[in-house]
Amino acid sequence: MKTVLLTDDNEDMQELVQLVLKRAGYGLITATDGVKAVEAALKHKPDLILMDLNMPNMNGFEATRQLRQKGFANPIVVLTASESEQDRAKAKAAGCDDYVLKTVDMADVEVILDRYLFESGGDL
């Protein structure tokens, strides 16, 4: 079973993504801040990380930079409410593979799951 690490400090968002992942047949690991995300990713080596940008203790930009520096090569996809082009550029510079906006229906998350867990490559 392929596994996704969801890094988000919002419990409602975690529950929503968990429903999407379970329905699609993926395993889920969660982390509520950037420090825990780095630890979980290095320990569990998930097939995909969905990375929030604004979290306590360490933001998603820094968590991604640290993971890339430590050799984590699997896809890291930003999952955020920020539509900022500046944040999109910072995410790419940090090493993120793609950028998805949080939505209520989560259709974009399903597209990302298919893209990175069944296809290869992204288009940040």
Q: What is the pLDDT of residues 10-69, one digit of tens each?
A: 888 888 888 888 888 899 999 999 999 999 999 999 999 999 999 999 999 999 999 999
pTM: 0.87
Q: Is residue 76 situated within a structural domain?
A: yes
Report the distance separating Cα 3 and Cα 57, nearest Å.
Answer: 24
Q: Is residue 1 situated within a structural domain?
A: yes
Q: Is residue 68 situated within a structural domain?
A: yes
Q: Is residue 74 situated within a structural domain?
A: yes
Residue 106: pLDDT band (50, 70, 90) is low
The total number of structural domains in the chain stands at 1
Q: Is residue 28 situated within a structural domain?
A: no
Q: Is residue 2 situated within a structural domain?
A: yes
Longest CA–CA separation in the chain, Å: 35
Q: Is residue 47 situated within a structural domain?
A: yes
- Domain span at residue 2? 1-7+43-52+64-84+94-101
